[in-house]
Amino acid sequence: MTPGINRVKTWVLIAAMGGLFVVVGGALGGTNGALIALAIGLVFNFSMYWFSDKIAIRTTRSKPVTEAEAPQLYRIVRELAQRENMPMPRLYVADMAQPNAFATGRNPANAAVSVTTGILQLLDERELRGVLAHELSHVANRDILVSSVAAAIGMSITFLARFALFFGGGDSRNNPLGPFALLFAWILAPIAAMIIQMAVSRSREYQADESGALLSNDPSALASALQKLEIASGRVPPPASVSPAEAHLFIVNPLSALKGKGGGFGSLFSTHPPTAERVARLEAIRLRQGGGTPFTS
């Protein structure tokens, strides 16, 4: 699957969420109610978008590191940033036993990359390079903007459904939904919005995996890193400073030890795609690139 197709999938999902918003808005709150809900969602989430780097760094208690303190980290990120033709991001280390990493920032000029002490201890240099290429791809792909758009619409749907129920669903003469249907929409509309929002997050992870594999030219290294990280994240308790709202930032879900494993219906609510599927896609990229070192679990 090419990066272009992944981008199209993401925006199709966002368009689906926008369509759901229009349907819910027209049925429950009318045009004015829908516009008010959308405005509130946009203001709140784009404020989060503008300060996303500062919020993520503060809540994860990441500390800035100098090149003298982390020469390997600086060397790898500088080389990848130059290959991607993007500015050098600010680098941080979070004192967390759980191995993980995240990138944030509204654009490449305001980007920050943070790795945990656990990941620095777990991965070899080749695997760490694959993870950092994935994180820089999130920045290059403007994923904070995409996530903010999806979150804004999702929040608006939830607000609109609850607002409409509280005020009796608007003008009953023009509202085809009865009280039971209103309650149905109040429950299901936010769930549908959340599922689409999670799907957007998973699509962006696939995109960053692919872009990162192309940037590092070593998809097997990222595949190996993902498998190691999944095993470790399921064993090491999540840090108390990380909330569910921030889980999507990380390369693997830091709360997986709390959620357990499995697919099916529960996977609809996951911010990250299954690691096995990510590894399979990376193996396909390796074969398309003409071979290279195969990944073996």
Residue spans of the domains in the chain: they are 3-288
Burial class (CB in 10 A: 0-12, 13-18, 19+), 42: middle
Q: Show Cβ contacts of residue 12 under 8 Å, excluding neighbours closer than 6 positions.
A: none
Residue 274: per-residue pLDDT: 92
Tokens of 25: 């808005």
Regions in the chain scoring below 70 on pLDDT = 1-34, 36-38, 40-42, 44-49, 148-186, 189, 240-241, 243, 245, 257-269, 291-297
How many Cβ atoms are within 10 Å of 233's Cβ, its own excluded?
24
Residue 270: per-residue pLDDT: 75
Residue 173: per-residue pLDDT: 47
Q: Let me know if 135 is a catalytic residue.
A: yes
At 246-276, the pLDDT tens digits run: 777 899 988 876 655 544 544 555 778 999 9
Residue 77: per-residue pLDDT: 98
User: In whole angstroms, how far apart are CA 134 and each of 31, 138, 139, 250?
Assistant: 41, 7, 9, 11
Cα dihedral: 276, 197, 204, 135 (round 10): -100
How many Cβ atoms are within 10 Å of 31's Cβ, its own excluded?
10
Structural contact between residues 141 and 211, judged by C-beta atoms closer than 8 angstroms: yes
Structural contact between residues 292 and 219, judged by C-beta atoms closer than 8 angstroms: yes
**What is the rounded CA–CA span in Å between residue 56 and residue 103?**
9
Residue 113, strand partner residues: 91, 103
Query: Which residue in 67, 69, 79, 135 is the catalytic one?
Result: 135
Structural contact between residues 117 and 93, judged by C-beta atoms closer than 8 angstroms: yes
Cα dihedral: 281, 282, 284, 286 (round 10): 170
Residue 1: per-residue pLDDT: 43
pTM assigned to the model: 0.77
Residue 190: per-residue pLDDT: 72
Residue 228: per-residue pLDDT: 96
Residue 244: half-sphere exposure toward Cβ, Cα within 13 Å: 6
Residue 115, strand partner residues: 93, 101
Structural contact between residues 200 and 271, judged by C-beta atoms closer than 8 angstroms: no
According to DSSP, the β-strands at 112-116 and 90-94 are: parallel
Structural contact between residues 191 and 15, judged by C-beta atoms closer than 8 angstroms: no
Amino acid in position 160: L
Backbone angles phi, psi at 263, to 5 degrees: -125, -130
Tokens of 79: 């080389």
According to DSSP, the β-strands at 112-116 and 101-104 are: antiparallel
**What is the rounded CA–CA span in Å between residue 230 and residue 233?**
5
Structural contact between residues 10 and 146, judged by C-beta atoms closer than 8 angstroms: yes
Burial class (CB in 10 A: 0-12, 13-18, 19+), 145: middle
